[in-house]
């Protein structure tokens, strides 16, 4: 767990604002008053939320509870305080417990009225929205209110499930069955065979054995059934930057909008460790933070989301001249819309390497998020390729790992001088002056990818160990010229000079050859 200050410590006043009496009066038109006896439950983890709850009188105690039943008090609300976080924008399951300490009276603002409030009362809406976002950040820091994953850190299915929850901005906890007594107790309690790991304990008490993303999403309430008879103005397939932008604009115009994606919101941009060239963010921003803002903005305007839900077919609705379309989903559900926007994005290209599939999600990855960085901390990492989207990956990982190796194609444009010999660069399955040489992925306990150099002073092959289980991670990469902007000095012959010292790990460096 991070030792950095919690958001509750640094931004407590913004997380838990207290409204003035005249501000409360402005909000009364959006809700209905309800009274609660002492000890009555206003909200429970895992149950559908009823919206924003503004305390008018009495006291309400808020606590977070993990999947193991451990409860920790967060704050006690009094008159002028309001309960809720981002789940209340769409009526999803609550991530906290709330009980009345004394007889209490509250104004209940339903999800649809809450969205209307955020738009109609701009100044108050900004304060409320900021509080909802910060409260979700606080829950993400602790993992409270989310599912508990029991499995080993390097397991491919554990990485898959953790990555899915992280990309969807949902709290979670992970317990290692080898070291955590509570994990062992869960395994014994539910009679779980080691081959069934990982298991997931949902907040409602349901146990899943190595679930799919869709099964997990439905267990924790991220996605629910779609009304087959409802007609949407706009259905958007793909929740990357283009899909999210479309959703925000459609929702802000009052169109009934459904946003679908088979995995998570944010697309490739959401997996970027840091984006430096996005308009309006001169200091840069993480891809996840940028895409989360867009996603929350879409929900603020009433956009419905079905994530993860995979679209597998598109056809015109029956009936001559109906002007409607039908989307068929992998769950055998259907969506009817008057217009459809397809923003399905790019598909990652894979290396033509025999046996690569067996290492994916365990040792080979296609982005460098904090999850992957944590797994390979202090080790050597190989970045294969030179695409624009992963430029930040090398710089980001340099502060987390002992060394970053870039393996790029021979025709990458680098500055060179007439007297320089052939460029030295790592070749993976490339045509070289000495013939075509391909990496070798050994299926034994110590798999090896052999990297060949061509030309220059170093012509001997170099071996890079790639262990199963996540001890070495091939990730995505970066434009060479962007590395230069980040401090890697490239001489006239195109060879990297000197280490990069970044973060609090002076040993971290990017090696470019």
Looking up tokens 């305007």 gives 301
**Interstrand relation of 231-237 and 257-260 (parallel, antiparallel or unpaired):** parallel
- Tell me the per-residue pLDDT of 156-213, one tens digit each, with 9 for 90 and over: 899 899 989 999 999 999 999 999 998 998 898 888 988 899 999 998 889 999 999 9
Assess whether 303 and 373 both reside in one domain.
no
Assess whether 361 and 504 both reside in one domain.
yes
Answer yes or no: is pLDDT of 296 > 60. Answer: yes
The C-alpha atoms of residue 414 and residue 480 are separated, in whole angstroms, by 8
Assess whether 385 and 457 both reside in one domain.
yes
Most confident of the following: 171-175, 382-386, 480-484? 171-175
The CATH number given to whatever domain includes residue 255 is 3.50.50.60
- Residue 346 falls inside a structural domain: no
- The continuous run of DSSP H or E covering 160 comes out as helix 156-167
The C-alpha atoms of residue 241 and residue 353 are separated, in whole angstroms, by 31
Which long-range CB contacts under 8 A does 416-422 form with residues at least 24 apart? 416/492, 416/493, 416/494, 417/492, 417/493, 420/492, 420/493, 420/494, 421/455, 421/456, 421/493, 422/454, 422/455, 422/456
Which residues, 6+ apart, have CB-to-CB distance to 75 below 8 Å?
16, 62
Tally of domains within the chain:
4
- Three-state DSSP state, 59: coil
- Please check whether residue 50 is in contact with residue 57, taking contact to mean a CB–CB distance below 8 angstroms: no
The C-alpha atoms of residue 365 and residue 368 are separated, in whole angstroms, by 8
Q: Tell me the mean pLDDT in the region 116-133.
A: 94
Assess whether 266 and 201 both reside in one domain.
no
- Residue 206 falls inside a structural domain: yes
Which of 46-60, 226-240, 311-325 is least confident? 311-325
pLDDT band at 403 (very low <50, low <70, confident <90, very high): confident
- Residue 350 falls inside a structural domain: no
Please tell me which residue, 205 or 22, carries the higher pLDDT value.
22
- Residue 485 falls inside a structural domain: yes
- Three-state DSSP state, 304: strand
The C-alpha atoms of residue 132 and residue 135 are separated, in whole angstroms, by 5
For the entire predicted model, the pTM comes to 0.75
Assess whether 475 and 439 both reside in one domain.
yes
Last residue within a domain, chosen from 247, 280, 312? 312
- Residue 477 falls inside a structural domain: yes
- What separation in angstroms does the CA of 503 have from each of 378, 506, 507? 13, 7, 10
Let me know how long the chain is.
513
Assess whether 504 and 389 both reside in one domain.
yes
Its domain, for residue 268, covers 231-312
**DSSP letter, residue 502:** B
Most confident of the following: 281-290, 336-345, 424-433, 443-452? 336-345
Assess whether 192 and 275 both reside in one domain.
no
- Residue 22 falls inside a structural domain: yes
The CATH number given to whatever domain includes residue 405 is 3.50.50
Last residue within a domain, chosen from 175, 194, 219? 219
**pLDDT score at 468:** 33
What is the distance, to the nearest Å, from the Cα of residue 173 to the centroid of all Cα atoms in its chain?
A: 14
Assess whether 11 and 132 both reside in one domain.
yes
Assess whether 251 and 277 both reside in one domain.
yes
**pLDDT score at 358:** 81
- Tell me the per-residue pLDDT of 411-422, one tens digit each, with 9 for 90 and over: 444 444 343 333
pLDDT band at 72 (very low <50, low <70, confident <90, very high): confident
Assess whether 388 and 492 both reside in one domain.
yes
- Residue 344 falls inside a structural domain: no
- Residue 99 falls inside a structural domain: yes
Assess whether 13 and 101 both reside in one domain.
yes
The CATH number given to whatever domain includes residue 174 is 3.40.30.10
CA atoms 472, 477, 482, 484: torsion sign: positive
Report the 10 Å Cβ neighbour count for 195. Answer: 7
- Tell me the per-residue pLDDT of 301-342, one tens digit each, with 9 for 90 and over: 999 999 999 999 999 988 656 789 999 999 999 999 999 999
Assess whether 120 and 157 both reside in one domain.
no
Last residue within a domain, chosen from 246, 281, 312? 312
**189: its two tokens:** 């309690």
């Amino acid at each position: 767990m991070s030792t950095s200050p919690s958001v509750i410590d640094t931004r407590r006043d913004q997380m838990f604002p207290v409204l003035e009496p005249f501000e409360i009066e402005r909000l009364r038109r959006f809700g209905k008053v309800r009274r609660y006896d002492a000890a009555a439950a206003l909200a429970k983890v895992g149950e559908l939320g009823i919206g924003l709850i503004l305390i008018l009188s009495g006291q309400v105690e808020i606590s977070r509870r993990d999947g193991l039943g451990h409860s920790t008090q967060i704050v006690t609300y009094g008159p002028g305080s309001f309960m809720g976080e981002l789940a209340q924008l769409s009526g999803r399951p609550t991530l906290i417990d709330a009980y009345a300490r004394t007889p209490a009276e509250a104004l209940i603002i339903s999800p649809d009225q809450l969205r209307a409030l955020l738009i109609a009362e701009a100044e108050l809406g900004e304060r409320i929205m900021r509080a909802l976002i910060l409260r979700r950040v606080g829950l993400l820091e602790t993992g409270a209110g989310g599912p508990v994953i029991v499995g080993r850190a390097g397991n491919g299915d554990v990485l898959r499930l953790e990555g899915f929850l992280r990309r969807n901005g949902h709290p979670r906890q992970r317990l290692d069955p080898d070291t955590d007594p509570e994990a062992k107790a869960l395994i014994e309690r539910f009679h779980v065979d080691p081959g069934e790991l990982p298991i997931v304990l949902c907040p409602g008490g349901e146990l899943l054995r190595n679930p799919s993303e869709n099964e997990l999403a439905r267990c924790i309430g991220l996605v629910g059934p779609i009304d087959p008879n409802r007609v949407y103005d706009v259905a958007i397939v793909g929740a990357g930057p283009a899909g999210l932008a479309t959703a925000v604009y459609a929702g802000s115009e009052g169109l009934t909008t459904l946003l679908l994606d088979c995995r998570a919101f944010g697309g490739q941009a959401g997996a970027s460790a840091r984006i430096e060239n996005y308009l309006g963010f001169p200091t840069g921003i993480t891809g996840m933070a940028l895409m989360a803002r867009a996603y929350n903005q879409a929900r603020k305007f009433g956009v419905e989301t079905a994530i993860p839900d995979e679209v597998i077919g598109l056809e015109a609705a029956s009936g001559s001249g109906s002007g409607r379309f039908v989307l068929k989903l992998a769950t055998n559900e259907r969506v009817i819309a008057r217009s459809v926007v397809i923003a399905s994005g790019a598909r990652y290209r894979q290396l033509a390497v025999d046996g690569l599939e067996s290492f994916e999600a365990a040792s080979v990855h296609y982005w460098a998020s904090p999850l992957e960085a944590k797994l390979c901390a202090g080790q050597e990492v190989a970045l294969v390729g030179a695409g624009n989207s992963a430029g930040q990956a090398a710089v980001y990982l340099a502060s987390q790992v002992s060394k970053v190796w870039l393996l790029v194609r021979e025709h990458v444009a680098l500055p060179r001088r007439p007297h320089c010999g052939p460029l030295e660069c790592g070749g993976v399955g490339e045509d070289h002056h000495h013939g075509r040489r391909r990496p070798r992925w050994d299926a034994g306990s110590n798999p090896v990818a052999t990297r060949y150099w061509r030309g220059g002073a170093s012509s001997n092959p170099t071996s890079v160990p790639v262990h199963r289980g996540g001890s070495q991670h091939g990730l995505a990469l970066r434009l060479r010229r962007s590395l230069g902007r980040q401090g890697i000095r490239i001489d006239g012959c195109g060879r990297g000079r000197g280490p990069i010292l970044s973060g609090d790990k002076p040993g971290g460096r990017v090696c470019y050859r």
